[in-house]
Structure 1
Amino acid sequence: MRLNKLIMVALGTLSLASCSDKMDYNEYNVYDKDYVTKNFIYVGNLMTAIYRQVDYDFGNYYSGAILGSASDESEYAVSGNSIEGFYNGSWSPSNAKSAIWSDSYTGIADCNLVLKEFQGLTFDELVLNSDYSQQMYRYHNYKHEARFWRAYFYFNLVRQYGAVPLVTENMTTDQKNALSKTSADDMFNYIFSECDDIKDSIVKDYSNLGSMTLSEQETGRANNLAVLALKARAALYWASPLFNANNDKERWHKAALYNKQLIDSCEVRGMKLAASYESLWATDNWSNAAVTSEIIFGRRVGSISTFEGYNYPIGIEGGNGGNCPTQTLVDAYEMQSTGLGIKETGSGYNENNPYAGRDPRFTSTIAKNGDTKWPSSNANALQTYYGGLNAEPLTGGTPTGYYLKKHCHSAISLASNSKFKVDNHTWITFRLGEFYLNYAEAVYKYLGSPYLTNDEFKISAVTAVNKIRARASMPDFPTALTNDAFWIKYKNERMVELAFEGHRFWDVRRWKEAATYFKSIQEMKLTKNTDGTITYTRNTVSRQWDDKMYLFPIPQTELMKNKNLTQNPGWN
C-alpha cells in the first residue's frame, strides 16, 4: 500500500464510542494525505483504526470458540470448529492460527503511520472553531497513544511467537519483507523502554482533565495506567520460564516492582477492586463507578449478542451450546466454608451434592444442571443430563455437563419475538485484580517464600492473593503453606479468578506446564435415573500436546514472502 499517498480514513465523527458509548466503526474510504491533514476528525479516525485492531475474545477469531476451549477451561460443543486445531494435530505453519499476527502488524503499521506522517500539524484553518483547544489537546496525545498501542501489539506478538520482526517506521513492502527477527529479550526490553518513555506524557485520567472538558467517550482511551499495566504484565511474562530459562531472579524482581508500581498508582488514583465479581462483565461495566474502580482498560465492543448466540444452551432459541466449562475447571472451585479444594481432607465436599457450598465465583461463571432462569427468558430449569432439554445427544448439547455464564448478558433474549436482542459488551483488557495476582506470583518467585516481605515489598504474596479472595468471600490462604503448596493454590486461584478472561491459555504456556494441564480435560456426564436422582460420571478426554506448541508457528505465507524469517523450533 502507498501509505505515504493514500490514507484509509473513516467518514463521519468516529470516536472510541458513539453517543451510547459503544464501539462504533464506520465504513472506510480512501483520501490523500493532504485532505486528511485538514481536519482533526479525520486524523483522529486513524487512531480509531488502531483501537479497532485491539484484540478481544468473544468468539470472534474461531467461529464462536474462545481460546479457553484450546485450554483446560472449556470444550467447544460443536465438533469440527477450527479451535480443535490447537490439540488435534492439524496445527501447522500452513494452518498457523495467524489472526493475531495479521491484526497486530496491521495495527503497528497504523501506529507508525500516525507517528511519521501526522505529527506537527496545527490545523490553522480551524483555529477559530470553538472546540479548537480541545481537539488540539486530543491530537497532541495521539502520538503517545500510538506508541502505547504499538508496544501492546508487540507484546501480543512476542507472547505468541517469541522473536518477531520489529518495525518502528514506515517501510516499503520490500523493506519489511527483508527483516530478520528481533530476539524475544530485545522485544521485551523495547516494550519496557516505550512504556517508560510515554508513561508520564500520555493522559493520566480522561475523567479528570481540570478545565479541559472532553466527552465521556474519551474514557474508552488508554491512559497512563494502561501503560503501566502493559509494562507490568510484560515483565511477568519475561520473568516466566518460557522466556527465562535460567530463572534470572532479577527478572522476577522487576516483575514484582512493575506490578507494585501499577498497584500503587491505581490506589493513589482511588481505584480498588469492584465490590461484586459478577459486575465486572455487566452491561454497565464501562460507566458504573463501582466497577470502573477496578477496570484499567476495557475494549468496548459494542451492542451485540453474538457471544450469547454462541454460548446460550442448546434447546433455547438462538443458543448453540458453545464454550462449555470443563469439569477440570469446576474442580478448581474450592469449598467456601473451609477454603480447601474438593479433594483435600476436611474440605466439606459432598460428592452426592457436588455444587453445594462452593466458591461463589462458580455460580457467577458456570451454569449447571437444575439452574433456573438461565438465561433470564428460559422458563425451564437447565437439563444437562443425557436426553435432557439442553443436553446430548442434541447437536451442540454440552459435552461437559455445563454451560458458560461469564460474559453472557442473561437479559438478552434471542427469541424471534424478543425486543431485547443486543446489549453493550466490553472486553476487559486490564483490571486491577489481575495485577494483585501478578504481584503475588512475582514477589513469591523473587523472595522465595509466599510469606516474606522486605523494605521494598511490604506486602507478601499471600496477602496479595487474599485481597482477591476477600472480594469473593473466600477464606484466606492458610498461614503455613509450603512453597509447593502455595504454588498449587496460587495457580488454582488464578484459574478461578481469571476464568475466560483470556489468561489460562497463556499462563500455562509461560509456566511451561502444558504437559501437566493440556494433555487432557475432564468432562462430567450426567444420567437421570428412574427415581429422579442424577448419576455423575467423570470422563477423561485426551488431547495432543507437543512442546513446540509453546510458541506459535510463523505463518508459511510470511516465510515465503521473507527469506530472512526463520521458523520457530519444531515447526519446520
Structure 2
Amino acid sequence: MKLKNILSGVACTLVLSSCNWDYHEYSNYGKDYVQETYDNVIGMVTNIYAMLDYDFGQTYSGGMLASACDEAEYAYPSNDICDFTNGSWSPSNPMSSIWTSSYKGIQACNQYLAEFQGLTFDELKLNDDYRAQMFRYHNSFKEARFLRAYFYFNLARAYGDVPYFTEMVSTDQVNSLTRTPVQEVFDAIIEECDQLYEELPADYTQLGLDGISPAESGRVTRYAALALKARAALYAASPLFNTDNNQELWKRAAEANKAVIDTCTKYGFKLGKYTELWGADNWTNKEMIFVRRYFVNGGDNVLEGYNFPMGVPGGKSGNCPTQNLVDAYEMKATGKLWNEEGSGYDPANPYEGRDPRFAMTIVKNGDTKWPSKNSDPIETFYGGLNAEPLSGATPTGYYLKKYLDSAIDLSANSTTKKARHSWITYRLGEFYLNYAEAVFKYTGSADNPSEFNMTAREAVNVVRDRADVKMPLLAAGLTPDAFWAKYQNERMVELAFEGHRFYDLRRWKDGDKLKSITEMKLTKNADGTITYERNVVNRTWNEKMYLFPIPQSERLKNPNLDQNAGW
C-alpha cells in the first residue's frame, strides 16, 4: 500500500480557517515542524478530511459511479468509467484508488493518534479563544478515529476482507499483513462508532466556547458516528457479506438505523424538499447528517462542465440517465410504474404525470431554461440541438440535472462560472430506507413491526411523503415480493446519483441487473410528434465483479494478500 509515500505525504497538511471550511494547501514539512504550531497540528486532521470521497467525476475523468451501473451511461465510450461495464477492469487495471487512498487516510489517522497527543500550545494560553482551540485539539483525535473507521468501511464495501490495523506500521509490517474477515472489520467499525457516539459533540456551536463558529458543521458529530454505524450494520447484514443470512445481523441493522432516525428527529433533523438536497447551501439543510464540503477557491464548475448538455455553451455531456432510471419513476396519480395495469401512462406523452423527483433529477426533451441562461428548449431527438449525431451527445435521450447548479453559465463572456457543491455523505432519508430494508428482512413483512414501533412500509412512506414529492403512500397488505420490488424501486429513485446504486446491486447480489441498460431513441416526425424507441445495450458482468480486484501492484509487494475470487 505504498507506505513510504503515505508516510511522506501525511505531513503535507491543509489549514482550517476559523471562519469557513475551505481548504488551503501549504508546504510539505516533517513531524517536528508540524508540532511547532497549533495550526500545523490541526491542519493534519483537516488534510484527512480532504481525503474523504465524493463522486462528482473527479476519479474517472468526469464519470460517476452511476455510469458504472444502471443509473446512467457515459456519453463517451472511451471514458475510464466505461471499463467497469466493458470488461476491461482487472487486478492490473483495478479501476479504483480506494485501496491506496483509504490506507493513506488510515495511516494518517494512525500517525496523528500516535504522535501528536499531549501538546499544550503554551503560546496560545493568553488568547481569548484558548479554551476553544484546545477543545478543537482534543476533539480532533476523536475525529481521526471516526475518519479511520470511515475509510475502513469504504475498503470493506469494495473488497470484503481487508488488512485491519489501528497502529502505525512499518513498511515490512504492512507488506506482511493478511486480510481480516469482513465481518470482523464491520464489527470493529460498529464498536468504534458506539464509543464515538458517547464522545463526539452533537452541535459544535452549542458548547459555550468563544471562537467556535458555524463552520464547525464541517466536522463529524455524534450523529455522523450513528450514521456510519448504521450503514456498516446494513452492509454487514446484506447477502454479499451475510452469506448464511444470519437474522441477528438484520436485527442489529434495524436497531442501528432506527437509532439514527429516533436520535436525529429528536434533535431537529427532518426531511424537507427534495430539491434542497443540493445547491451551494445544502450543507445547512436540516436533513444533512454529514456532508463532504467540497470548496475550491470559492467553487468551481467541473460538475457542470462534465454534465451540461452537449450543444449548451461549455457543456460536454457526460453521465446520461438511462431509461432504466426513468422507468423507476412511478405515475404520481396512481403510484404505479409505467408498465403496470391502470397506471395512467400515456406512451405518446411518456413523461407526463410522473413522480416529481423525475423532473428534479433528469433533463428530458423539451425542457426549457436548462441551464438557466439557455434560451432554447432541450432537443434530444435525432438531429436536435443537443442530440446525436453530435459527438458526445446523450446516447440515452436524457441529461443529468441533480446536483448541478443551473445558474452557472459557461459561455465565454459569463461572470457566473463557479458554484460551491457539497457531497451528501449521510442524510436522514437514507436511514428511513435502510431501516425499512433491515426490519423487512428481519421480520419478513412490510407491516409487522415485531419489537419495533415503525413498520418497513411506514418508513418508506416517510420518504414518499416529502413536501415537494407527495407520492401515493404504499398500501398495507403488500406481499413480501411486492414490497421488496417497491422498496428497491424507491431506493433507486430517492438516492439516484448519490453513489448508492452501484453498491446496492452488489450487496444484494443483483448483478444480473448490470448485464444491460436501456436507452431511449427519439425521432421527430414531420407533424412535430415524437416517436420513442427503446434500445437495449448489453454490458459485461460476471460474478467476480461483486467485489473489486485487489490491485496487482499491492499483491506483488505483499504475497499474503489473497486475490478476490475470479480475479
TM-score > 0.5, shorter chain as reference: yes
Q: Which residue of 1 aligns with 2:133?
A: 135
Q: Secondary structure at the match of 2:435?
A: helix
Among 474, 479, 490, the residue aligned to 1:477? 474
Are residues 1:10 and 2:13 paired? yes
Change (3 A) 1:393 1:22: farther
1:111-151 Cα offsets, whole Å, 9 max, x none, are 00110001111112322222211110000101110010100
Equivalent runs, 1:553-564 vs 2, <5 Å: 553-564=549-560
Change (3 A) 1:479 1:415: same
Q: Secondary structure at the match of 2:397?
A: coil
**Structure 1: which amino acid aligns with 2:13?**
A
Equivalent runs, 1:282-431 vs 2, <5 Å: 282-287=279-284, 291=285, 293-302=286-295, 303-431=299-427
CA distance in structure 2 between the partners assigned to 1:410 and 1:2 by the alignment:
40
Among 430, 436, 440, the residue aligned to 2:432? 436
**Structure 2: which amino acid aligns with 1:27?**
Y
CA distance in structure 1 between the partners assigned to 2:343 and 2:509 by the alignment:
30
Are residues 1:518 and 2:517 paired? no
Q: Which residue of 2 aligns with 1:193?
A: 191
Is the Cα contact below 8 Å between 2:7 and 2:107 reproduced in 1? no
Q: Tell me whether 318-327 or 128-137 shows the greater mean CA deviation.
A: 128-137
Q: Which residue of 1 aligns with 2:529?
A: 533
Q: How many residues align?
A: 559
Are residues 1:148 and 2:146 paired? yes
Among 503, 506, 510, the residue aligned to 2:503? 506
Is the Cα contact below 8 Å between 1:242 and 1:511 reproduced in 2? yes
CA distance in structure 1 between the partners assigned to 2:356 and 2:310 by the alignment:
25
Are residues 1:463 and 2:458 paired? yes
Is the Cα contact below 8 Å between 1:232 and 1:255 reproduced in 2? yes
Change (3 A) 1:58 1:530: same
CA distance in structure 1 between the partners assigned to 2:368 and 2:10 by the alignment:
52
Is the Cα contact below 8 Å between 1:167 and 1:176 reproduced in 2? no
1:251-297 Cα offsets, whole Å, 9 max, x none, are 000000000111111011111112x101110211123xxx2x10000
Identity %: 57
1:433-489 Cα offsets, whole Å, 9 max, x none, are 0000000000011111000113x3110000000000000210101222100000000
Give the CA deviation at 1:210. 2.9
1:20-40 Cα offsets, whole Å, 9 max, x none, are x4532323321x323322321
CA distance in structure 2 between the partners assigned to 1:260 and 1:6 by the alignment:
39
**Structure 2: which amino acid aligns with 1:542?**
N
**Structure 2: which amino acid aligns with 1:459?**
M
Unaligned residue ranges in structure 1 (runs of 5+): none
Q: Secondary structure at the match of 1:25?
A: strand
Is the Cα contact below 8 Å between 1:49 and 1:110 reproduced in 2? no
Is the Cα contact below 8 Å between 2:35 and 2:41 reproduced in 1? yes
CA distance in structure 1 between the partners assigned to 2:8 and 2:78 by the alignment:
44
CA distance in structure 2 between the partners assigned to 1:528 and 1:322 by the alignment:
23
CA distance in structure 2 between the partners assigned to 1:308 and 1:6 by the alignment:
31
Give the CA deviation at 1:380. 0.1
Give the CA deviation at 1:174. 1.4
CA distance in structure 2 between the partners assigned to 1:557 and 1:4 by the alignment:
18
CA distance in structure 1 between the partners assigned to 2:124 and 2:505 by the alignment:
53
Among 98, 101, 123, the residue aligned to 1:100? 98
Change (3 A) 1:4 1:150: closer
Is the Cα contact below 8 Å between 1:112 and 1:169 reproduced in 2? yes
Give the CA deviation at 1:6. 9.0
Q: Which residue of 2 aligns with 1:24?
A: 23
Is the Cα contact below 8 Å between 1:89 and 1:544 reproduced in 2? yes
Q: Which residue of 1 aligns with 2:54?
A: 56
Q: Which residue of 1 aligns with 2:82?
A: 84
Is the Cα contact below 8 Å between 2:226 and 2:260 reproduced in 1? yes
CA distance in structure 1 between the partners assigned to 2:73 and 2:390 by the alignment:
16
Is the Cα contact below 8 Å between 1:335 and 1:359 reproduced in 2? yes
**Structure 1: which amino acid aligns with 2:464?**
R
Is the Cα contact below 8 Å between 2:6 and 2:104 reproduced in 1? no
**Structure 1: which amino acid aligns with 2:555?**
L
Q: Secondary structure at the match of 1:62?
A: coil
Q: Secondary structure at the match of 1:27?
A: strand
Q: Which residue of 1 aligns with 2:265?
A: 267
1:133-186 Cα offsets, whole Å, 9 max, x none, are 111000010111001010000000000000011121111111111111111111
Equivalent runs, 1:206-225 vs 2, <5 Å: 206-225=204-223
Among 443, 448, 471, the residue aligned to 2:444? 448
CA distance in structure 2 between the partners assigned to 1:543 and 1:231 by the alignment:
34
Give the CA deviation at 1:309. 0.2
Change (3 A) 1:67 1:3: closer
CA distance in structure 2 between the partners assigned to 1:90 and 1:423 by the alignment:
35
Give the TM-score normalised by structure 2: 0.96
Give the CA deviation at 1:364. 0.1
Give the CA deviation at 1:76. 0.3
Is the Cα contact below 8 Å between 1:3 and 1:113 reproduced in 2? no
**Structure 2: which amino acid aligns with 1:481?**
L
CA distance in structure 2 between the partners assigned to 1:374 and 1:549 by the alignment:
36
CA distance in structure 1 between the partners assigned to 2:279 and 2:219 by the alignment:
19
Give me the CA root mean square deviation.
1.5
Give the CA deviation at 1:537. 0.3
Among 484, 489, 498, the residue aligned to 1:487? 484
Give the TM-score normalised by structure 1: 0.96
Change (3 A) 1:386 1:265: same
**Structure 2: which amino acid aligns with 1:8?**
A
Give the CA deviation at 1:357. 0.4
Among 249, 252, 269, the residue aligned to 2:250? 252
Is the Cα contact below 8 Å between 1:5 and 1:33 reproduced in 2? no
